[in-house]
């Protein structure tokens, strides 16, 4: 538990800076005159390298332990932040993309390490595993929301450079502390994983990973670039107002995730299965369509977007929490980071697709089109989830991916 507390604390600190940095980059470079597509490109390597990191990071962690990947993520994030401490004339799209690539590697190393450790500590109790995964994921997203608010507030008060420098110093201190406190052998597999172990051979993990790709693409296709730019450019919101809204949204999203076992009824000892994922996915599919349709009915766009965003966030949080539990449940304890890394590779791929579509679709067709694409992505995730095991089949040992 002491080791898990250290991992969780570093994960929280990292998440706070990651949320703040994302908001700083979106708002600051919009102020510098970057187009929505340019801003989306800034996150291209962030998401692309996240895909690669999850695939290889799980393999590395299984061989050398979760401590190495966790500390490595902290150090890389300090490097990424330090790269942005240059004069504005050097902050070209290509340069910032490289810095964001480091940040993407760092974030997914950190997340994979924290999520994998839950499987090792929660034991065989499926109910406890669901509660602990929900608590970790929910608290992380709440802190990311606070990071969004922090990013918008820091940009308006101390400026981009001072904000980035302060976060780099804080993470550096945490990285040094973690190095001396964390058990080096945590998460090491009893076998030596081979390269062919990188790709899952478990049908249910492959199915869940595909659903996760479309699920997170559905969120980021309108949330990452289109929404902040829409609020500033078309509704005239300030950077502080945008940061505050997104912060409140993500904090609420995290709270819903933390309480999802009670919401889904799984607190009575019946953890989620494939049927749970399908049910909540079906509910989520209609929400972007309702928001897009409200524009045709001359509903005040501010009310339509804000209220719709809140409802979408609540239902999305439950979907995400169910998925997060299922991958930890499906994963094998010995070499758990291999299964978790493969799954979060799909998660990162979904964010990559969603982020690119967010800038491109918004710039070409507008905000409503982003919502329609979002609905299509959720429908795809729900359809794929129909193949996940249900009932007693969900608790049976998997076919294994090694």
For residue 351, being part of any structural domain is answered with yes
Residue 307 and residue 322: Cα distance in Å, rounded? 23
Domain residue limits at 117: 2-395
pLDDT for res 386: 94
Mean per-residue pLDDT, 221-247: 84
Mean per-residue pLDDT, 280-293: 94
Judge contact between 322 and 277, C-beta under 8 A: yes
DSSP string, 16-59: HHHHHHHHHHHHHHHHTT--HHHHHHHTHHHHHHHHHHHHHHHH
What's the chain's average pLDDT? 83
For residue 401, being part of any structural domain is answered with no
Count of residues for the chain?
402
Alpha helices by DSSP H, 123-259: 126-157, 160-181, 203-223, 226-233, 239-258
Using only the alpha carbons of the chain, give its radius of gyration. Answer: 20
For residue 400, being part of any structural domain is answered with no
Residue 212 and residue 319: Cα distance in Å, rounded? 10
Which tens digit of pLDDT belongs to each residue from 352-369? 899 888 888 998 899 999
Please count the other Cβ atoms lying within 10 Å of the Cβ belonging to residue 303: 10
Mean per-residue pLDDT, 163-174: 92
Nearest to 242 by CA among 255, 223, 261: 223
For residue 402, being part of any structural domain is answered with no
Mean per-residue pLDDT, 169-194: 77
Mean per-residue pLDDT, 155-181: 89
For residue 391, being part of any structural domain is answered with yes
Residue 94 and residue 258: Cα distance in Å, rounded? 38
For residue 164, being part of any structural domain is answered with yes
- Which pLDDT band holds residue 401 (cuts at 50, 70, 90)? very low
Question: What is the phi/psi pair of residue 194, to 5°?
Answer: -95, 170
Nearest to 44 by CA among 309, 360, 338: 360
Mean per-residue pLDDT, 159-176: 91
Give yes or no for residue 289 having a pLDDT over 70.
yes
Give yes or no for residue 173 having a pLDDT over 90.
yes
For residue 16, being part of any structural domain is answered with yes
pLDDT for res 325: 87
CATH of the domain at 267: 1.20.1250.20
Which tens digit of pLDDT belongs to each residue from 367-383? 999 999 999 999 999 99
Task: Tally the C-alpha atoms within 13 A of residue 121's C-alpha that lie toward its C-beta.
Answer: 19
Mean per-residue pLDDT, 277-292: 94
For residue 256, being part of any structural domain is answered with yes
- Which pLDDT band holds residue 250 (cuts at 50, 70, 90)? confident
Separation of CA 325 from chain center: 14
> What predicted TM-score, i.e. pTM, was given to this entire model?
0.77
Which tens digit of pLDDT belongs to each residue from 292-304? 999 888 889 899 9
pLDDT for res 400: 47
pLDDT for res 194: 62
Please count the other Cβ atoms lying within 10 Å of the Cβ belonging to residue 42: 24
Give yes or no for residue 267 having a pLDDT over 90.
no
Instruction: Say how many domains are in the chain.
Output: 1
């Amino acid at each position: 538990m002491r080791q898990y507390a250290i991992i969780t604390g570093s994960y929280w600190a990292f998440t706070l800076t990651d949320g703040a940095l994302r908001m700083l980059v979106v708002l600051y470079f919009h102020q510098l005159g970057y187009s929505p597509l340019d801003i989306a490109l800034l996150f291209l390597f962030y998401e692309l390298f996240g895909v690669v990191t999850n695939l290889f990071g799980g393999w590395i962690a299984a061989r050398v332990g979760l401590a190495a990947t966790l500390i490595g993520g902290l150090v890389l994030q300090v490097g990424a932040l330090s790269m942005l401490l240059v004069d504005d004339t050097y902050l070209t799209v290509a340069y910032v993309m490289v810095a964001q690539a480091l940040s993407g590697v760092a974030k997914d190393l950190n997340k994979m390490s924290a999520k994998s450790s839950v499987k090792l500590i929660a034991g065989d109790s499926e109910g406890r595993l669901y509660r602990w995964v929900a608590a970790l994921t929910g608290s992380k997203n709440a802190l990311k929301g606070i990071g969004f608010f922090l990013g918008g507030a820091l940009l308006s008060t101390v400026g981009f450079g001072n904000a980035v420098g302060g976060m780099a110093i804080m993470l550096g201190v945490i990285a040094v502390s973690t190095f001396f406190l964390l058990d080096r052998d945590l998460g090491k597999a009893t076998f030596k994983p081979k390269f062919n172990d990188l790709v899952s051979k478990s049908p249910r993990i492959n199915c869940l990973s595909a659903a996760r790709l479309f699920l997170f693409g559905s969120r980021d296709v309108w949330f990452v670039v289109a929404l902040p730019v829409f609020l500033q450019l078309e509704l005239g919101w300030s950077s502080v107002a945008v940061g505050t809204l997104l912060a409140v949204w993500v904090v609420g999203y995290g709270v819903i995730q933390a309480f999802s076992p009670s919401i889904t009824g799984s607190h009575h000892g019946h953890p989620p299965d494939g049927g749970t994922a399908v049910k909540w996915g079906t509910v989520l599919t209609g929400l972007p369509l309702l928001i897009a349709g409200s524009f045709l009915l001359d509903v005040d766009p501010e009310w339509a977007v804000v209220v719709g965003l809140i409802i979408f966030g609540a239902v999305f949080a439950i979907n995400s929490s169910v998925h997060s539990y299922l991958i930890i449940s499906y994963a094998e304890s010995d070499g758990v980071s291999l299964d978790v890394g493969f799954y979060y590779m799909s998660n990162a791929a979904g964010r990559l697709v969603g982020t690119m579509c967010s800038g491109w679709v918004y710039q070409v067709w507008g905000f409503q089109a982003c919502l329609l694409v979002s609905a299509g992505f959720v429908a795809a995730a729900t359809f794929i989830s129909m193949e996940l095991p249900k009932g007693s089949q969900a608790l049976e040992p998997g076919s294994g991916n090694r």
